[in-house]
Structure 1
Amino acid sequence: MTNMIIHYVYIKAWRKRVVPLLLTSILLLAYVLGDNSYSKGTSHSSPQLQNTLNNHPSPYLALHGSDPVTWQSWSNKIFERARQENKLVYVSIGYFSCHWCHVMQRESYKNPAIAAILNKNFIPVKVDRELHPALDTRLLEFIQSTRGYSGWPANVFITPEGYPLIGMVYVRPKNFRAILSKLSMQWKSGSTALRKMAKAARSKQVDPEKSKGPNIQIGLGEKYIKNLAKVSLERADDMNGGFGQKAKFPNVSQLNALLSYVRRNNNQAVKSILKLTLDRMASQGLYDHIRGGFFRYTVDTQWQTPHFEKMLYDNAQLAELYIVASQYFKNAHYEKVARDTLDFMLRDMRDQTGALIASLSALDDKGQEGGYYLWQAKFLATLLTKWELMVVTEAWSLQNTPSLQGGYLPVISLNNTEVAQKLGLKVEQVISTIAQVKLKLLHAQKDRRLPKDGKLLAAWNGLALRSFSLAGQLDNGIKYKRAAKKIRDYIVKHLWRNGNLVRSVVSSKPLGTASLQDYAQVSRGLYVWAKLYSPQDLILLKKIILRGWELFYSQRGWQLAKNMVPGFSAREALISDRALPSPSASLIQVSLKIAQLKGDTALLSLAKSALNVENNTLAGDPWWFATHIQTLYELQLIKKK
């Protein structure tokens, strides 16, 4: 028998529990050439699979309906077939506005030779991450744990019993074909061993720490949030704002927690990095200076070059962040950024139902990344007057060759006062000229086309309900209150069914899998709406909250969704913040508020108990648990008062 070398890597996962997992370079195992002494399993013939995604209600899945790959939709039934045929399940998860998802489709999934290998040796499954967020989280965790990085498309080979074996992100077609060929040979010659290895890695995961009960140590919240502030300052980019020295993400959960901290503790260093980050995010390439709204992230440290998709969850959270920041810093510009972002959402993301769609693609209808937002110098010279071009050339630094092939992306190089001083103009002249240029460019974009993902998702609309409800309190904010009412009505009438939330609805039929995140963010949004405008909705809110606890929490911790396959069904005491705030911390947060408001001692005790966990993790690595720490900190502040 060939000498086997099994590679394990011990990593600190998002939950900071030490978890032994298979290193994904299983292709390096010494038995890559195969060994007939291993069991080959039993294969049973079944009717040939067909691509099931044509005309799928998910725009992302429908894009793959014409692939030669025989894509299946995600369900537990696919594992029954996998066991019958002794095949690995190949799960590829992405989303509509993902650039590299489209590249891998074009290079690999449209390739008949690669499709033939996939169809013959695996059961291929395509997943829209926005319909199955819990599965998406688990796949990303697995890839991150075994590769050291993750992203989309997230591609994982899963055993017929439901345990992840190998994961990867985008792979070039030549390499992808080699992986498929070698892995299929390995599976045919050694499926029994591979099954055992995948299951063993899962079985070695450490159980989550149990709660210490509802009596939380005095001062714990302040201790943790001070440590979060310290860690944040260590991560902070003092020159450009934001955190880290690679791509820049908004990190809204962390910024919210830091803003909560400085509102009560006048920490000048934290205030400084907060203000710098807010200023740079709103002035550079993360923000769309023509249409309003934020892109998902920038690929550089200086916030210059965005990844051009626009997501509802980013814009809803950032609008709320800038509203709160405008009030704390007494900064009218932050309020304008929030208003412009909300106006963008109403103009470009509102569905006819009043709910908001999921995203706008990074690619225009010609397949050019960012093409919808970029401007060629010749076009600008034709469209604008010499006066207008002179002003925006200084304001947006258009003198240099554009860094992007498609043309210039407007970013603020000089502020209005600086432009006025340089050109010998009045500030009012600069402001009015730039406003006129923006109107011209906005009008010119009517001749351009940008694909949209029209799914109406529960959690993301919960975030939008929260931001629009808060904006309704601004001066002349009645249109935002009306928008919030329509979002509230859509959630209540279409997504709350027979005592349960559904993730999305198409043609009156549920689509996707409702998760803990849906219950958490709908509850947070509905709480703000009910508290400000409609107290009678507090009754429904409490039903949603209690149902969330019933479905996703037990003494063994939280689960992201019901009925997960075995390899992804682990419970955890803490769930980290990601692009969205931690769903467990979010549900705890709103539960504490409603329990205190209604005098519900049972719910209050339950929420406090769920909050009082994993103290070593919170102390040792607070960055990923900012929402949990903020919730604990604010709870203990209330108790002090």
Structure 2
Amino acid sequence: MNFSFYEWLRGCAIVVFAILFLACKEDKKSNLQQEAHKFTNELVNETSPYLLQHAHNPVNWKPWSSKALEDAEAQHKLVLISIGYSSCHWCHVMEEETFEDEAVAKLMNENFINIKVDREERPDIDQIYQTFAQLTESNSGWPLNVITLPNGKPLYGGTYHTKEQWIGVLNKINDLYKNDAQKAAEYSDMVAGGIAEANAIAPAADIGVLTQQNLKESVANWKGNWDLERGGDKGVQKFMIPSNLSFLIDYAVLEGDNRAMGHVKTTLDKIEMGGVYDQLGGGFYRYSTDADWKIPHFEKMLYDNAQALSLYSKAYSVFKSVEYKNVVWETIAFLEREMKNPEGGYYAALDADSDGEEGKFYVWKESELKSVLGDDYDLFAIYYNIGPNSIWEEGNHVLRLETDIKSFLDAQAISYSDFDAAKNRWHKKLLNARDKRVRPSTDDKIITSWNALLITGLVDAYKAFGQQRHLDMAQGIYQFLKTTSFKNGLLVHTYKKGSVHKEGFVEDYAFLAEASLALYEVTLDGQYLEFAQEMVRNVASKFEDEASGMYRYNAASELIAKIIKTDDGVLPSPNAVMAHNLFRLGHIEYNMDYLKKSKQMLSAMVPSTIEAPASYSKWNALYLNIAYPFFEVAVVGNNAFPFVKDLHQKHLPNTLVVGTETESNLPLFEDRYDDDATYVYVCQNTTCKLPVRTVEEAMRQLQNF
């Protein structure tokens, strides 16, 4: 077909018109986006919910990078580093009051290079500057606002500031830098040296310090700080700290310490009855703002709930409390319902705030409760103590219990089955009503180390209750992490579609190795053991610090000091977890080097465990394994799985339970397989009793070794 010149020209005109029309449409769309946000900074390209919350502040925020520090050097400006996380209430408050104020932003932009850090993406940066805040007796916590020289060495640190306080700080520190840069440099060098010293660990010269007497002294020093009436440690605010209570359970059993066991039971009961536990939806809030566990800080963190599964599952195996079982099952249901990524991992956190108010999603006015519950209200109000004394703020009630279930049933002359039916009815009505409210926002990062803690928590729930679905969930998370967060032999710390994956920290490797060992112990599947072994080798090659005998927090050395995290916080110490991993692998493989390394690491920490036991419980849990008799129970034979499952449902502190249903070259199993029978070998220090053919016989051997 032939076209004339005029037809060709007319076609070109149509194409040009279409291009211009589309271009104008895109320009209009772009202009609308600019109008919707008066300000946009570099954080708009990030995927962290916390950083994105600040992407349209008038402050010229930048994400952490070496280039940002280089810009500060080139422009002769101080660096302002503001650290927080998406579910942090006071982070939101400071943003609204201060970082959204144009006059404050002008002061910051003219005089500082401003960097925003999500502490959950970069816990190493947070750790460095929290250490600085603690050394200088500033307030530590979040938001943490630090002013540094262009080299990252700090001059000032503090948490929440009002707008007026913040302006004063900015002017004062900037004036100091402008008027006496030499003095500022000398001070920052001194502080950086202090941070390095705080992370210095002297290697142990003698493992002879690992005596029962030193461990008893550690616990004795702690006892004076126990709140025996209300549970937990004394203080105006209270955190659950599962690793503390988990250690004390095992210590109380091994040492026969009734006072320690009573304190643990009181604490567990007060927590699960208190407002710090979501009585309707399951799951734990971050901490209690009072000493009675009544009023929580309403954010929900994955790491708290993951560790709570381990704690209450262990507690159930000791105390056989139905309420502890309910806590575990309700928390798992909450996690599945509200924190699970459709792909298989679990999100980091739920915000404390919704619709601009802290706790609004979770609290109730008496009139709302009466409206939703109708005739059920009276019994409900007695059970949850709804009355003048339970009002929190503005007529709102936080649901909590004042009496245990047995006392309540006796007082009301109601059977447990009738009450359970009523309670399910209440909860269904109230959850339906709650779901119509504005929900707290979700921090949808998937953090490797926190998900690894959840794997371990679900395995511990499986051990206690024998529910296959709990094990299936744990295996699903493991597979998700291997698929999304493990590339070319390396772990990443956080995963989110579209994000730039940053290399993992020692906690990611250590916690995932621990989770893999837990899966191996209950499934008998060698793939989990092999992966744990790989993770431990990676830690040795990437993070080992020869000077201390410990492991550095990060593989790179871009920060002003190396971090060697040995104390527990809301997360257990990654070095303590690694020492546990080495100890367990040492017993599985009969690897004497691993056992020696584990003992040397622990020996270096004994002075700290004695001085500050509440901060070193993960180390003390390992101390139990070494100072008291430790047993290996190896089940070998084609019917090993049910034997192992039965053993795991019992509380067996200081005991490694493993098994195989096939021939194996592992030292614990070698030359012990028999086609015709399944045998249980109870061993200590490579010395074994005669094999037995029932769990009951094995239990008697453990008791009378």
Normalising by the residue count of structure 2, what TM-score does the alignment of the two structures yield? 0.80
CA deviation vs aligned residue, 1:430-470 (integer Å, no higher than 9, x gap): 33222210111111122122211111000000000101122
Q: Does 1:399 align with 2:387?
A: yes
The one-letter code matched in structure 1 to 2:54 is: H
Contact 1:236 1:243 in 2 (8 A): yes
How has the CA–CA distance of structure 1 residues 553 and 177 changed in structure 2, closer, same or farther, with 3 Å as cutoff? Answer: same
**What is aligned with 1:28?**
none
Contact 2:317 2:464 in 1 (8 A): no
Q: Does 1:370 align with 2:359?
A: yes
**What is aligned with 1:538?**
529
Q: C-alpha separation between the residues in 2 aligned to 1:523 and 1:508?
A: 27
The one-letter code matched in structure 1 to 2:372 is: L
Q: C-alpha separation between the residues in 2 aligned to 1:286 and 1:228?
A: 28
**What is aligned with 1:133?**
123
The one-letter code matched in structure 2 to 1:227 is: E
Q: C-alpha separation between the residues in 1 aligned to 2:127 and 2:114?
A: 19
Q: Does 1:354 align with 2:347?
A: no
**What is aligned with 1:570?**
562
Q: Does 1:99 align with 2:89?
A: yes
Q: Secondary structure at the match of 2:398?
A: coil
Contact 2:128 2:563 in 1 (8 A): no
Contact 1:380 1:389 in 2 (8 A): yes
**What is aligned with 2:573?**
582
Q: Secondary structure at the match of 2:276?
A: coil
Contact 1:132 1:512 in 2 (8 A): no
How has the CA–CA distance of structure 1 residues 487 and 600 changed in structure 2, closer, same or farther, with 3 Å as cutoff? Answer: same
1:321-340 aligned at under 5 Å gives the runs 321-340=311-330
Q: C-alpha separation between the residues in 1 aligned to 2:232 and 2:610?
A: 22
Q: Secondary structure at the match of 1:166?
A: strand
The one-letter code matched in structure 2 to 1:392 is: F
How has the CA–CA distance of structure 1 residues 639 and 423 changed in structure 2, closer, same or farther, with 3 Å as cutoff? Answer: closer
**What is aligned with 1:625?**
616
The one-letter code matched in structure 2 to 1:468 is: L
**What is aligned with 2:552?**
559
Shift of 1:265: 1.4
How has the CA–CA distance of structure 1 residues 614 and 467 changed in structure 2, closer, same or farther, with 3 Å as cutoff? Answer: closer
The one-letter code matched in structure 2 to 1:211 is: P
Q: Does 1:385 align with 2:374?
A: yes
Shift of 1:421: 4.2
Q: C-alpha separation between the residues in 2 aligned to 1:430 and 1:85?
A: 69
How has the CA–CA distance of structure 1 residues 529 and 510 changed in structure 2, closer, same or farther, with 3 Å as cutoff? Answer: farther
**What is aligned with 2:295?**
305
Pick one of 228, 231, 247 that aligns with 2:237.
247
The one-letter code matched in structure 1 to 2:571 is: L
Q: C-alpha separation between the residues in 1 aligned to 2:68 and 2:325?
A: 49
Shift of 1:240: 0.6
Q: Does 1:472 align with 2:451?
A: no
CA deviation vs aligned residue, 1:263-319 (integer Å, no higher than 9, x gap): 211101101100000000000111001000100001100001000000000000011
How has the CA–CA distance of structure 1 residues 114 and 222 changed in structure 2, closer, same or farther, with 3 Å as cutoff? Answer: same
Moved more, 51-60 or 419-428: 419-428
Contact 1:228 1:626 in 2 (8 A): no
Q: Secondary structure at the match of 1:126?
A: strand
Pick one of 254, 258, 265 that aligns with 2:255.
265
Shift of 1:474: 4.2
**What is aligned with 1:429?**
418
Contact 2:203 2:601 in 1 (8 A): yes
Contact 2:82 2:143 in 1 (8 A): yes
Q: Does 1:122 align with 2:122?
A: no
CA deviation vs aligned residue, 1:498-555 (integer Å, no higher than 9, x gap): 1111011223654345211111111111110122112222112111111112222222
The one-letter code matched in structure 2 to 1:595 is: G
Moved more, 627-636 or 69-78: 627-636
Shift of 1:50: 6.9
Contact 1:221 1:634 in 2 (8 A): no
Pick one of 585, 591, 602 that aligns with 2:593.
602
1:6-85 aligned at under 5 Å gives the runs 51-54=41-44, 56-85=46-75
Structure 2 regions of 5+ residues with no counterpart?
1-38, 632-683, 685-705
Report the identity percentage: 27
Contact 1:147 1:168 in 2 (8 A): no
How has the CA–CA distance of structure 1 residues 335 and 125 changed in structure 2, closer, same or farther, with 3 Å as cutoff? Answer: same
Q: C-alpha separation between the residues in 2 aligned to 1:242 and 1:159?
A: 41
The one-letter code matched in structure 1 to 2:361 is: Y
Q: Secondary structure at the match of 1:536?
A: helix
Shift of 1:429: 3.0
Pick one of 211, 216, 219 that aligns with 2:203.
211
Q: Does 1:453 align with 2:443?
A: yes
**What is aligned with 1:44?**
none
Shift of 1:102: 0.1
Pick one of 407, 432, 435 that aligns with 1:443.
432
Normalising by the residue count of structure 1, what TM-score does the alignment of the two structures yield? 0.88
How has the CA–CA distance of structure 1 residues 187 and 245 changed in structure 2, closer, same or farther, with 3 Å as cutoff? Answer: same
How has the CA–CA distance of structure 1 residues 439 and 476 changed in structure 2, closer, same or farther, with 3 Å as cutoff? Answer: farther
Contact 1:263 1:328 in 2 (8 A): no
Q: C-alpha separation between the residues in 2 aligned to 1:514 and 1:152?
A: 22
Contact 1:247 1:297 in 2 (8 A): yes
Shift of 1:143: 1.1
Shift of 1:256: 1.7
